[in-house]
Structure 1
Amino acid sequence: MAAASVLGGMAALGLTDNFVPFISERGSLWQFHFIRSLMGFVILGAVVALGYGSFRMNRPWAVLARSFFPASAMLIYFGCLSVLPIGVVVAGLFTAPLFVVLISILFQGKPVGVFRWAAVIAGFAGAVMVIQPDPAALDPVAFLPIVAGLFYAVGAVATRAWCEGESTLSLTAGFFGLLGVFGLIGIFVVNADAPAGHAGFVLRSWGPLDGAMLFWFAVQAVGSLIGIALIFRGYQLGEASHVAVFEYSLLVFASFWAWVLWDQTVSPLGLWGMVLIAIAGTVIALRSTAAERAA
C-alpha cells in the first residue's frame, strides 16, 4: 500500500508537471505560484473545515524557515520547466539525497561509509550524464535543477531537525504559503521586457487570466495536492527508506508524459544517467537506515 501510494503520487505529479508549458507560453512564473497557492489554500481550508487536520503550528518560525528551502527548490524547478526538458529538470531535483549525505557529513558530523560515498560520486556522475554540458557552449541554466536539488535537500534535513511533531497540514500550508509570497513579490518586482513564448515565463510579472489559464492553474493546484497527499500517506504506511526508493518513479512518469505530450526524448546517455541517479538514491536511503539502526 505504501508503494502504491507513492507511485500514485508520482504518477500525478509526473503528469501535471508536463502541463506547465500550457501556462509558461503566456503566463508568468510568479503569477502561477501566487494563484496556485491561493487555490491550494482553498482546498486545504476545506479539508480542515471537514475536520481532517489543523493548520496549527507548534513552532511557526521553524516551519517558516524550513518552508523557505523546498519553496525555493520548487521556484527553480518550475522556472526550469519552461526552458529545459522535464527529464533533465527532474533528474537534477533528484540529486537531493546526494546533498543530504554531504550535509550530514559537513554540518552534522555523521559518519558515512564507503557505499554512500560511492553512491554520491555515482549520482553526480549520473547528473552530468543527463545534463551533458558542452564546454564550448556552457549554459549555466542547465545546472539550475541541481541547485534546486540542493535546496530540496536542506529542506529535507530541516524537516527532521526543526519540525519534529509538526502536522502534515501545517508543513504543507507553510510550503504553499511561502511559495505564494514568493509569487506575490515577483509580481511586483519583476518588470523586465519579457520575450514572447516560454522564454518569457520567468521574466513576466503577469499574464492573461482567462478561462484556459485558470483551468491549468486549477489542474496544477489539484494535481500537486493529490500527489503530495499520496506521498505523505505512503510515508505513513511504510518505512521511510523503502518508500523513498519509489519516488524515483517520477523520472519514468515525467519522461513518459513528456514523450507523449511534447515529443521530448532523452538520449541513451541521459537514460543511463537517470539510472545512476536512481541507484545512488536507493543505496543512500537503504544504507542510511541501516546506519541509524546500528547507531
Structure 2
Amino acid sequence: MMYTAPQTRPVAAALSMIGAMGIIGLIDIYVAVIAQTISVWQFLLVRMLLAAPLVLLLSALGFGTVRPRRFGEVAGRSLLIALGMFCYFSALAFMPIALALAGLFTSPIFVLLITAFVLGQRIGPWRIAAVAVGFLGILVVLGPSGGSLGWIIVMPVLGGLLYASGVVATRALCEGESTLTLLLGIFLAQGALGAVMLSALTVIQPEVGAGGMAFLTRGWVWPIDAALPYLLIQVLGAVVGVGLLNKAYQLGEASHVAVFEYAVMIFGPVFGWWLLGQTITWAQGVGIVLIALAGVIIALRSANQ
C-alpha cells in the first residue's frame, strides 16, 4: 500500500499556535502576582502536584502513554528544560514579561549554535546572519536599558540556553516518546527541583529578601489562598496551551508553524501592560524585535542550509 503524507492545514495550524501563545502570554504574567506570596520553589512544586494528575487523566482517557521508552534520556531532557523554565519564571518576579520572553526566546539562536558547534552540522549564511541579529538584540536588551536590573537581567537568557539544550536533547535522544511522557517529565523535574530547594531553605533558613528576591529565598508558605487561584490558572493554561502547541505542529509544517510562536512576544507584553501596568523602554522594544526577527529567520530557513 502506497504511503500518503499527512495533509497539512496551514490556517488551522497557525490559529492553534496563535491560540497557544495567547494563553501562555496571559497566564505567565500572573507569575509576578504569585511571586508576592510564595517562592519559585513552592510554585514549581505545587504546579507539579496540580498538573501531574491532569496529565495522568489525559493518558487514562487515551491521549497517549506517560511511560518513557528511555528513562535516563527523558529525565535528562526534563531537567534541562525545568532549569530553563526556573530561570524564566524567576525573571518574571523582577522584570516585565516582555524582557523575560526576549531572554527565553533566544533559545532558537542557542539551538543553532549547539547544532553547529556541538553536533557539527552545517548552517548557511542566512542563519549565521540571524545569529548576529539575535545577539545584537540581546546586547540592546542587556545594555543600559536593562542595567538597573543588575545580574538578574541575564537569567532569562540563561533560561534560553538551558531550554535550547533541552530542545536539542529532545530531537537527539527522545525520538518516539509521547507528548504526555515529555510533558509529565517536565512537571516532575520542576517539582523535584522545587522540593529539593525547599528542603535546603528549611535547613539554611536564609534571610528573605525584599521584592523579587523573596521569590528566590522564601521557604514553604501556608496557607496559599492568595496564590492558589493564579496557580490553578497557570496549570490549566499550561496544559491547554501546550496541547494547542503540539496540535499546531501536527497540522502544519514545523518551519512555518514555528514562526507563529513569536506571537507570544506580542500577547505577553500587551497583557502585561493591560492587566498589570508593565512597561518597557523604546530601546528594550528594539532589542526584542531584533531577537524575534532572528528567530523568524531561523524558522523560515530551517529547511535550507
TM-score bin, normalised by smaller chain: over 0.9
Map of 1:210 onto structure 2 = 224
Contact 1:69 1:155 in 2 (8 A): yes
TM-score by length of structure 1 reads: 0.94
Shift of residue 250, structure 1, vs aligned partner: 0.8
Which residue, 250, 259, 270 being the options, matches 1:256? 270
Q: Equivalent pairs: percent with the same residue?
A: 41
**How far 1:224 moved relative to its partner?**
1.0
Aligned partner of 2:71 in structure 1 is: 60
Letter in 2 for 1:281: G
Asked if structure 1 preserves the Cα contact closer than 8 Å seen for 2:145 and 2:284, the reply is: no
Tell me what 2:56 maps to: 45
* Contact persistence 1:88–1:131 (CA under 8 A): no
The yes-or-no answer on 1:90 pairing with 2:101 is yes
2:25 corresponds to: 14
Structure-1 separation of matches of 2:146 and 2:47: 38
Residues 11-63 of structure 1: per-residue CA shift (max 9 Å, x gap):
11111011112211111111110011111011112112222221111111110
* RMSD between aligned residues: 1.6
Structure 1 residue 224 and structure 2 residue 235: aligned?
no
Matched, 1:179 2:190: yes
Counterpart residue type for residue 139 of structure 1: G
Q: Give the TM-score of the pair, scaled to structure 2.
A: 0.91
Moved more, 268-277 or 228-237: 268-277
Q: In the alignment, what sits opposite 2:289?
A: 275
Aligned partners of 1:208, 1:135: CA distance in 2, in Å? 34
Aligned to 1:288: 302
Moved over 4 A (4+): 134-138
In 2, are the aligned partners of 1:40 and 1:176 still within 8 Å (CA)? yes
Does the 8 A contact of 2:38 with 2:224 survive in 1? no
SS of equivalent residue, structure 1 residue 212: coil
Give me the whole-angstrom Cα distance separating, in 2, the residues matched to 1:261 and 1:136: 25
Write the distance in 2 (CA, Å) between the matches of 1:39 and 1:161.
30
Equivalent positions of 1:138-157 (< 5 A) are: 139-157=150-168
* 1:244 maps onto 2:269 in alignment: no
CA separation in 1, counterparts of 2:83 and 2:149?
A: 24
Given candidates 37, 40, 62, the residue that maps to 1:26 is 37
Count residues in correspondence.
291
Tell me if structure 1 keeps the 8 A contact 2:66–2:180.
Answer: yes
Aligned residue number for residue 131 of structure 1: 142
> C-alpha displacement at 1:135, in angstroms?
10
**What is the deviation of 1:137?**
6.4
Task: Structure 1 unaligned segments of length 5 or more: list them.
Answer: none
The C-alpha deviation readout for 1:115-141, integer Å capped at 9, x for no partner, is 111110111111222233479868121
2:279 alignment partner in structure 1: 265
